[in-house]
Amino acid sequence: MDIIHLLPDNIANQIAAGEVVQRPASIVKELLENSVDAGADIIELRVVDAGKTSIQVIDNGKGMSETDARLAFERHATSKISEAADLFNLHTMGFRGEALASIAAVSQVELITRTIDDEVGVKLCLNGPKFVESTPVACPRGAQFLVNNIFFNMPARRRFLKSDTTELKCIFQEYERIALIHPDIEFSFYKDNEKTHTLPTGSFKKRIIDLFGTSIDKTLLPVNVETTIVKITGFVGTPESARQKGSRQFFFVNGRYMRHPYFHRAIQSAFERLIPSDKQVSYFYCLDVDPSKIDVNIHPTKTEIKFEDEQAIWQILLAVTRETLGTFNAVPVMDFEKSATPAIPTYNPDVTLSPRIDVDKSYNPFQSHQDNRTRVNTANWQKLYDVMPRTDVRPQTSDADIIANQESSEQIINCEQNENTFLQYGRYIITQARSGLMLIDQHRAHVRILYDKFIDDIQNETGISQGLLFPELFQLSPSQIVIIKRIMPDLHAVGFDISDLGGGSYAINGVPAGVEKKKPVEMVMQLLEKYNEKGSAKEVVRSSIALNLAKSNALTGSQILSNEEMAHIVSQLLQSNTPKYTPDGKVIVVILGEDKISALLK
């Protein structure tokens, strides 16, 4: 009995769609690339419910005839290539002819399109892979793709979609990659029928600034080199702009975004010993290579590319980055002429005063006289030690709060609240407990205290805002706008006063009381960078905000504290419901019992 058979077209299309359409961002990528290939200079992207409900891309490209529109949804139907050799001479974003067929297989699609030669356009409706209707319609030149209910016929795949924040972040990433490399195209973005921003046409640098804010302008150094192998243009960040997270790093080859860890190491090598090993700089590199020297047909998403001259390009990237740093004095240099001259203060006789000697002319060494200075009475010298605490007497205080220990039984802390109780050793506060010595990490203790305060302020909306004398202005990228709008109510609840100025610009008018000495913009940017994309639950979002604020404003481990300050820290810590651990699970308090101390002193 034969057991091998052909799969039905609908099942084959759904299998192929699994490679191309992984989430709403995949549809955005494919539709935007089609609009770019169609020669559009104005493109609109509209998403509803992070693309789960609908995704619409409108362009003014050359459009399609009715025949082409029908054929476009067939598998391997494309206008980009006609033979295998064309795969090594690509000048378009798409070429496989699988995108529209894959999108139609897992969603409900509506296409309205018209060419410049046609008086009326055509409207096609598809439900899954099946055509529903085709009708003439009046419309402008170009194409309007409307994709509704992604994975409506694959409920298992739909359940695997992440939160709206995560999916919208992925959509913005694809949008940024395509908009960044095409500054000659005007892009507009609409979220839930509300226009978020518009990117006007301009230069490559202007597009970077429009996407990532004006603050990045001062940190960009131009890169430009042309060789027989590759032409490289773009920008790289200065060493001072390096940071641990949130660096914008983009490679483009022939107008196509790509990921290339090997080339990334070339950039990092150029900054070796200029920045810490755990930090990175932003860069925007555009590579122009002979299409016959690369292979883009190795991954469904077309973001991985093979280069024939990979090692040579690596060396060129390293050399041009180092040359750029040296040309713009981004690398620290030593001035040997100044270094050879010791910094000796200049002698100025005009301001020098002669020494004066005061002599007591009435003093007679041969006459006896009484010394009026106060003498210390040392007759009862034993009383000098009465102020020292006796180690054999338990401090006269009542029991304090209970420290919750998840690994052992509860321990009662008994502290003496006076000036001789506390001792600071490095980052640790040492005090006496009923069962031994208590060691407290002052930084972690303050993190716990501040975290409890911020959480309480957010839940009860009782955060006090301290107004700034001058508002602090900052610019956000589209992906950051999504995050700040989501967490804005909690930021207001904790004490931030932030106003939306439009166009991605925001102003900080007030900050939570007690953190006025911190840099407001830096605090907000850290909150956005460290925002947990899995934090769809409101409690997780609030916890993330409170923890990041607590860490950025807590005492440092090297800060010297007075006895009163240490007593205040310990008192507040013991009032917490969980004083044993920080919110992220690090130990705050350790108690050395008498048996442990005795074992150490044997």
pLDDT at 340 over 60: no
* CA dihedral of 553, 554, 556, 557, whole degrees rounded to 10: -160
What residues does 347 pair with on adjacent strands? Answer: none
Q: Which of 343-347, 349-353, 546-550 is the least confident region?
A: 343-347
What single string gives the DSSP state of each residue in 468-534?
EEEEEEEE--HHHHHHHHHHHHHHHHHT-EEEEEETTEEEEEEEETT-TTS-HHHHHHHHHHT--TT
Q: Which of 171-175, 298-302, 389-393, 514-518 is the least confident region?
A: 389-393
The predicted structure's pLDDT at residue 236: 95
Gyration radius of the chain's alpha carbons: 34
Mean pLDDT (whole number) for 327-335: 61
* Comparison of pLDDT for 562 and 43, the residue scoring more: 43
Q: pLDDT (tens digit, 9 = 90+) per residue, 207-244?
A: 999 888 888 888 999 999 999 999 999 999 999 888 87
Alpha-carbon 413 to chain mean position: 41
The predicted structure's pLDDT at residue 312: 94
**Is 163:536 a contact under the CB 8 Å cutoff?**
yes
Tokens describing residue 207:
């597009």
Q: pLDDT (tens digit, 9 = 90+) per residue, 551-594?
A: 878 887 778 888 888 888 888 888 888 888 888 888 988 888 87
pLDDT at 385 over 50: no
pTM here?
Answer: 0.65
Q: pLDDT (tens digit, 9 = 90+) per residue, 121-158?
A: 999 999 977 888 899 999 999 999 999 999 988 888 88
Q: Which of 2-16, 229-243, 246-260 is the least confident region?
A: 2-16
The predicted structure's pLDDT at residue 123: 94
Q: pLDDT (tens digit, 9 = 90+) per residue, 425-483?
A: 778 888 877 777 888 888 888 989 988 888 888 778 777 888 888 888 888 877 788 78
**Exposed/middle/buried for residue 129 (C-beta within 10 Å: 0-12, 13-18, 19+):** buried
Residue 589 CB neighbour total at 10 angstroms:
23
Tokens describing residue 186:
């005007």
The predicted structure's pLDDT at residue 404: 41
pLDDT level of residue 363 (50, 70, 90 thresholds): low
User: Which residues lie below 8 Å from residue 47, measured CB to CB, with a gap of 6+?
Assistant: 24, 28, 54, 55, 56, 168, 171, 190, 191, 192
The predicted structure's pLDDT at residue 400: 39
Distance CA(536)–CA(538), nearest Å, equals 6
Pairing verdict, β 497-502 and 589-593: unpaired
